[in-house]
Chains A and B, each alone.
Chain A
Amino acid sequence: MSTVAVIDYGMGNLHSIAKALQHADTSVNVQISADAHVIQAADRVVFPGVGAMRDCMQALQALKLVDVIKNVAQDKPFLGICLGMQALLTDSEENGGIACLNLFPGHVRHFAEPLFDELDHSLKVPHMGWNRVRQKPHPLWQDIAQDSRFYFVHSYYAIPDSEQDSIASSAYPQPFTCALAKNNVFAVQFHPEKSQTVGLQLLQNFLRWDGAA
């Protein structure tokens, strides 16, 4: 039986993601864990997260998970979600500036305010709700229509140094990178576990992915 470890470092509610993975593929063994052995032994790893970056990095350090994550991200199919995507960049300007895992060179910035939409209403931060996702070719987008809407909730967004690392974009109102990919690592700013059929499809694609781009 194939196993997927959902990294539990105390940042947010992991039940949604575990339930969605199980629903996407009933044959997979989903393990929510902070144990390095469990994470290293899994076939695939999901790195979720909500909340503040300072707490995220402190929790990873306290649980000695920094090297574990860097290690499994070398070769296993790896999916970062929301804060778990942002933590993969070099640093974030949240909490006065926080060094992150640097798997994707680049920075995490706050949405500039004020923003306005086409009705000239001010745009709210967090960016919350269903927004279109413009894909670039990747196996994890299989059977998901171009410009499908996914559910977002975030106030910060990633700016990768290399355009090559960006595998999808959204707009609020300016375009921003909402998914990153490199080798066996894929990461998304939105919440596939809360994005109904398209989200479940993405999770199913991940659970069948061998990590090859």
Chain B
Amino acid sequence: MSLAKRIIPCLDVDNGRVVKGVQFVDIRDAGDPVEIARRYDQEGADEITFLDITATHHNRDTIVHVVEEVASEVFIPLTVGGGIRTLEDIRTMLNAGADKVGINSAAVFNPEFVKQAADKFGSQCIVVAIDAKKVSQPGEENRWEIFTHGGRKPTGINAVEWAIKMKDFGAGEILLTSMDRDGTKSGFDLALTRAISEAVSIPVIASGGVGNLDHLADGIIEGKADAVLAASIFHFAEYTIEQAKLHMQSRGIEVRL
């Protein structure tokens, strides 16, 4: 076997700037997205994900321009998420140079949209983003629920069942974020990651909570994720992508160097 586990830096883009908040508040400015994407590509990022965090409120032109600019000089897979609600949104992003789109709330409000999108553009470009929070009490069997609106709104949907449904509807990949961990630097929710990864036959990207390089390796080894996504540890130059890969390799994980 020689398929490498992937490291995917995520750029949360707000009005053309990369930002990172702790559990979606307390936003810190981290720089120019095109410049940062270029640096990650040179450091060996396996893919890059852009999350348009203002997309639900403002028009999309800013992120489209960012993707266009990055796609003309960075030749690795690019994913764009945030506010993808119509087939036209997907077409716009693919035409700008994205290879995949992340669908989040729109899938919850209208699961058929995932089916239509996969039929139209192919499963390979449809990433369903799942924001999950633990709802079981200590001592109970683990249970996670889907939340929308940046983790504020519960939906009553069981996260594991939802992931299976999204796979059946044509998702090519799952981007799984633990809303309990996002921005906390305390590591992925490994039980959640493992539960979803074992439940679906498509690749799972673990997200939410990375604070050090062991967390990345844990996501692969214990969480059984196929890829790991992190934002702030790379933006603020705490670690380079290359350091992260060398560390993962030292723990027995196959990476692209």
Binding site for B on A (CB under 8 A): 12-13, 15-16, 19-20, 23, 50-52, 113, 117-119, 121-132, 149, 151-154, 170-173, 193-196, 199-200
Chain B contacts for A16, CB-based, 8 A: 71, 75, 97, 99
Which of B118-126, B141-149, B182-190, B236-244 binds A?
B118-126
Chain B contacts for A149, CB-based, 8 A: 4, 256
Binding site for A on B (CB under 8 A): 1-6, 41, 46, 71-73, 75-77, 94-97, 99, 121-125, 172-173, 197-198, 201-204, 221, 224, 226-227, 252, 256
CB distance from B9 to the nearest CB of A (A): 15
Chain A contacts for B71, CB-based, 8 A: 15-16, 19
Cα distance, A194 to B46, chains bound together (Å)? 10
Apart from A23-B72, A125-B201, A194-B77, 17 more pairs, CB < 8 Å:
A16-B99, A19-B75, A19-B97, A50-B122, A52-B122, A113-B201, A118-B1, A119-B221, A121-B224, A123-B1, A123-B3, A128-B124, A129-B6, A129-B46, A129-B227, A171-B1, A195-B76
Cα distance, A19 to B72, chains bound together (Å)? 6
Known A13-B125, A125-B201, A130-B256: A200·B75 in contact at CB below 8 Å:
yes
Instruction: Tell me if B75 and A124 are in contact (CB < 8 A).
Output: no
Interface centre among B3, B77, B123 (most CB of A within 10 A): B3
Instruction: Tell me if A131 and B3 are in contact (CB < 8 A).
Output: yes
Known A126-B203, A132-B2: A15·B95 in contact at CB below 8 Å:
yes
Cα distance, A20 to B173, chains bound together (Å)? 24
Total A-B pairs, Cβ < 8 A: 105
CB distance from A70 to the nearest CB of B (A): 25
Cα distance, A154 to B125, chains bound together (Å)? 11
Instruction: Tell me if B76 and A117 are in contact (CB < 8 A).
Output: no
Instruction: Tell me if A129 and B4 are in contact (CB < 8 A).
Output: yes
Instruction: Tell me if B201 and A199 are in contact (CB < 8 A).
Output: no
CB distance from A172 to the nearest CB of B (A): 6
Cα distance, A131 to B226, chains bound together (Å)? 13
Can you name 15 A-B pairs with beta carbons within 8 Å? A13-B125, A15-B71, A15-B96, A23-B73, A50-B125, A52-B122, A125-B201, A128-B172, A131-B2, A151-B76, A172-B1, A173-B1, A194-B75, A196-B41, A199-B75
Instruction: Tell me if A50 and B124 are in contact (CB < 8 A).
Output: yes
CB distance from B139 to the nearest CB of A (A): 29
Chain B contacts for A171, CB-based, 8 A: 1-2
Instruction: Tell me if A124 and B226 are in contact (CB < 8 A).
Output: yes
Instruction: Tell me if B76 and A196 are in contact (CB < 8 A).
Output: yes
CB distance from B168 to the nearest CB of A (A): 14
Instruction: Tell me if A126 and B73 are in contact (CB < 8 A).
Output: no
Chain A contacts for B121, CB-based, 8 A: 12-13, 51
Residue in B1, B75, B97 whose CB lies within 8 Å of A15: B97
